[in-house]
Amino acid sequence: MLSTPIKDSHSFFILPDQTCQRFTLSEIESATQNFEEALVIGQGGFGKVYKCSKIQSTTEVAVKRLHSLSNQGANEFESEVKVLSKLRHGNLVSLIGYCNEPKEMVLVYEFMPNGTLEDHLLSPDSSLSWLQLLKICVGAARGLDYHYKKYTL
């Protein structure tokens, strides 16, 4: 498997080509219609998240753009790309790719039409039973255990 280095002024890391796709800023800008506010579906510490109907051959993606004033930076971006590019599981959102150009760090995920687990857990209208919550906790613990054993032992 070939490796692609990612360089920016703060970091350098290697990603396997087959796990994650590198997008250009022009591809991201085209997909987000130059980061059109009407496409924003969320916002967090990292920055804004945009729903895009298509990027290259992938339909419906979520594009997360690092805000220039974010407390998160190159190290967190690198960690997220490294970890999520290796993980593939039915209960985890898949990282499709990234864009890392001067002053722009962007992550491209599969779009989750039913929202995130956080959305469901924090919603006052949540109809999750205690049994469902317990299954979520056990599933998360199993995922952490799997990740810990695979990447630390």
Dihedral sign for Cα atoms in the order 103, 107, 112, 117? negative
Closest to 81 measured CA to CA, from 60, 97, 69, 67: 97
Helix (H) or strand (E) holding 109: strand 104-110
Which residues are known binding-site members for ATP?
64
Which residues are known binding-site members?
64
Closest to 23 measured CA to CA, from 68, 54, 69, 67: 54
112: CB partners within 8 A, 6+ apart = 62, 93
- Check if the beta carbon of residue 60 is closer than 8 Å to that of residue 71: no
**For residues 99 and 101, what is the distance between their CA atoms, to the nearest angstrom?**
6
What is the CB-side half-sphere exposure of residue 10 using CA atoms within 13 A?
14
